[in-house]
Every structure is written in C-alpha cells, then in structure tokens.
Amino acid sequence: MNWCILIPLLVGLISAYLGYLIGKLNSKNDAKPSGDIELWRKKNIQLESELAACKSKLSAGAGNVSSSSTASFAAAATAAPVVFNASAAKAIFGKTIKQDDLTVVEGIGPKIRDLFHSNNIKTWKALSETSVDRCKEILKSGGERFSVHNPGTWPRQAKMAYEGTWQVLLDWQNVLDKGKE
C-alpha cells in the first residue's frame, strides 16, 4: 500500500468536511435577521393602530374645522356605526366570532370577560373607550389572580375588533405575547 496517496486523500477529506462545517455555520448567521423583521412588524402594527386612532379623531373632530372644509367631513361625522361582519372575521380567524365577544382580545379569557361584564363593559366599543388604568382597576377588583394580567393592549385590540380590521388585529396578536407588547 502506498502511503503517499493516502495522506493527501485524507487531508483533502478533512479539508472538505471542515469547509462544509464553516459554510454551514456562516449560512446560519446570515439567516437570522428575523429579530429585525419582528421588530419592524411590531412597529408597523403600532403605526397602523395610531393611524386608525388619528382617523377616528379626525372624523370625531369635524365640528372644530372651518366652514369651508366642514362639508367634506360631514359624511364621516354622520357615518353609520360599523356593522359586524361575522363571515369576514371567520375568514381571517378561521373560527366563528360572535359580536362583542371580549375573548377575541388576546389576554382576555372567559373569567376576565365575566369580570368586565359585571363592570358594565360588554362590547368591543365600550372596551376600546376604556382607559388602561380603568382596566387595571377592574382586574384588581376581581382579586389577586386577576391583577397579574397586563391590559395595556386590550383597548386597542377591542377597537380593531369593533372597526372590523380583522387582519390587522390577527397580525398584531401574532406578535403579542399573551396580550402584552
């Protein structure tokens, strides 16, 4: 057996294997911008929520606008309330959604829903108009087991449900962690 042939062959195999491993490690490091993507998704959802809030303030503040532009805002100010579309909600969420079901809001389960109902917050609109501090007070009134929950996003989620922006709501909920940002 000629050892002169085996040594270069062995060195070549080891070099190929090490090159493969180094390439594999470098490719894993290049494929990790997902943290940045998630950061920008959260920012996008937050900006969409703020845009929706600005639009609603704009339509609500139509009376404070000069008379020349009042006519253009008249339709927005007297617009009919948002109509609940169960089929659109089902198409996005993949399950039947009942109107004003507070459990659609991530972080609210049946017991918290009952707690809010007992405090006369029974609709998405009512929850969307409730401050986060008031939500915390309601949770504290239910006892220690409810006070651990963070309702920081609940009014905004409820507003999206009330307005029927189901895809935006679902996308945001996919980013949230049990209702927390």
pLDDT score at 35: 63
Name the pTM for this structure.
0.55
What is the domain partition of the chain in residue ranges?
Answer: 86-181
- Give the count of alpha carbons within 13 A of 22, CB side only: 6
Closest CA to 103 of 120, 90, 116: 116
126 φ/ψ sector (left φ>0, alpha ψ -120 to 50, else beta): alpha
Task: Please tell me the predicted confidence (pLDDT) of residue 179.
Answer: 54
Rg of the chain taking only CA atoms, in angstroms: 27
Beta carbons within 10 angstroms of residue 52's beta carbon: 16
Which among 83, 85, 150, 162 is positioned nearest to 121, based on CA atoms? 162
pLDDT at position 71, please?
A: 46
Residues in the chain predicted with pLDDT less than 70, given as ranges, are 1, 28-35, 61-81, 177-181
With vertex at residue 59, the alpha carbon angle to CA 68 and CA 125, rounded to the nearest 5 degrees, is 165
Residues with Cβ < 8 Å from 181, sequence gap 6 or more?
A: 42, 152, 153
pLDDT at site 177: 63
- For residues 161 and 124, the answer to whether their CB atoms sit within 8 Å is yes
> What integer pLDDT is reported at residue 50 of this predicted model?
83
> What pLDDT does residue 72 have?
46
